[in-house]
Chains A and B, each alone.
Chain A
């Protein structure tokens, strides 16, 4: 019982850390097209780097399963877009394409948290002695994910507190999935490469289909490419550390 509570509390803590990603956006006020372009580039680099890290982990469990999961992730995004396009969704004051990007990144990051929650639970199952280390690692690793979410929401008019709230909400599946995965490592471990692949496929596809094209359209090509490339490499190094 104690262990289950600990896993839940640990995973909840990591979810809260995602909210810290909103902090850097406290000084972003203007809803200018340039801000959107460079925020998109930043989110693209972070998400591509995160996906590279996920794929590297997933292929250790099985490359084919990871790729199959990735294909499902792409299909999921195509389907979600279809649903979102079919109705005129509204996000705060925002309508149309902007609102679709906002809804989409929240859906993508929330879905990806399910896979991460399973990963947390499975790694706890391995050895409880590493528990604290894993919690700190995942918590720190969640901050850039909060940055990616806030980078899309904030320039489109969401408040800093709102960005933090949405970031935390997107990570809540982590504690929810971590507990059953911890209790039944045997049942969840084989699913892990599929889940990781799904998360990576969904994130990469969203970057290529939504975030990057919009960034190129609204910002200078050189600035967008530099920012995205540097954050991609930075994210890879950051994950290497943890």
Chain B
């Protein structure tokens, strides 16, 4: 199979994982909030572990491009939030009642998906197992993201099937950026450390900015810290096999 198609398939699967997030809503209308905290902590640990592995590869040829990329990645995610006036927006607020909240988290999810796409594309360019590992981390993150989005949208009168569709569609930028990043890096291998740096910086910042603060509120520091560090350890072990 052509490698670009492989990237397309894996990033699409990761994007589609958002639909799985609707499953708990079929069983229960109101979800235990700690469950969302733990699943986000799992995603945070997997993403931080991925960022660790991405950074190591990015800094290998010399620290300049990798570090420059990481700064770009952090700056990009921060800028998108600041520019869209959503810096103070709390994601994962099921109880949030303001009418435009649904639109805002749709916007934020769409924007940060592009950074996640860069991560998948750059990791795929290192090698396939590493790419699959990063795609898996992003897919895990997309599930609770889908759950929250579906819960928020359905409580505002959107049909569940439509909400699931929207949750998947917010990740289309992820597929697009994964394929574009992969194609660029394949054509011009010297940008790989930059792309890996961007991916690592963006993932670290997403975890610290969007995931962990909410997790702590939802489930308390001890269980969140445990879930996060176990997930990081799993990625460290797996990435040792891959790269």
Contact = CB atoms under 8 A, between A and B. Distances in A.
Interface of A: 52, 55-56, 59, 63-64, 66-67, 70-71, 74, 201, 204-205, 208-210, 212-213, 216, 221-222, 224-226, 228-230, 232-233, 236-237, 240-241
18 contacts: A52-B55, A52-B56, A55-B236, A59-B236, A63-B236, A63-B240, A67-B236, A70-B233, A201-B229, A205-B229, A208-B212, A208-B221, A212-B208, A225-B209, A225-B213, A226-B209, A229-B201, A233-B204
A212 to B, nearest CB: 6
Dominant secondary structure at the B interface: helix
A209 B225 contact: yes
B139 to A, nearest CB: 23
A209 B227 CA distance: 11
B63 A209 contact: no
A233 B201 contact: yes
Interface of B: 52, 55-56, 59, 63, 66-67, 70-71, 74, 78, 81-82, 87-88, 200-201, 204-205, 208-209, 212-213, 216, 221-222, 224-226, 228-229, 232-233, 236-237, 240
B206 to A, nearest CB: 9
A226 B232 contact: no
A236 B237 CA distance: 20
A241 B225 contact: no
B236 A216 contact: no
A74 B74 contact: no
A229 B208 contact: yes
Nearest to B216: A213
Nearest to B202: A229
Nearest to A66: B236
A229 B232 contact: no
Given A52-B52, A224-B208, A229-B74, A67 B59 contact: no
Most buried by A among B55, B81, B222, B236: B236
B229 A74 contact: yes
Contacts of A64: 237
Given A55-B52, A229-B208, A236 B74 contact: no
Given A59-B240, A237-B63, A237-B67, A226 B205 contact: yes
Nearest to B204: A229
Contacts of B70: 233
B59 A240 contact: yes
Contacts of B237: 63-64, 67
Nearest to A241: B63
Given A208-B228, A226-B205, A213 B78 contact: no
Nearest to A221: B213
Dominant secondary structure at the A interface: helix
Most buried by B among A56, A74, A212, A232: A232
B69 to A, nearest CB: 10
A216 B216 contact: yes
B190 to A, nearest CB: 19
Given A52-B55, A67-B236, A236-B55, 13 more contacts: A66-B236, A70-B233, A71-B233, A208-B228, A209-B222, A213-B221, A216-B213, A222-B82, A225-B205, A226-B74, A233-B70, A233-B71, A237-B67
A66 B239 CA distance: 14
Contact of A208 (B63, B78, B224, B240): B224
B209 A74 contact: no
B18 to A, nearest CB: 23
A205 B225 contact: yes
Contacts of A228: 208
Contacts of A67: 233, 236-237
A204 B229 contact: yes
Most buried by B among A70, A74, A229: A229
Contacts of A240: 59, 63
Given A67-B237, A74-B226, A229-B74, A204 B232 contact: yes
Nearest to B55: A236
Contacts of B87: 222
Most buried by B among A63, A221, A225: A225
A229 B81 CA distance: 16
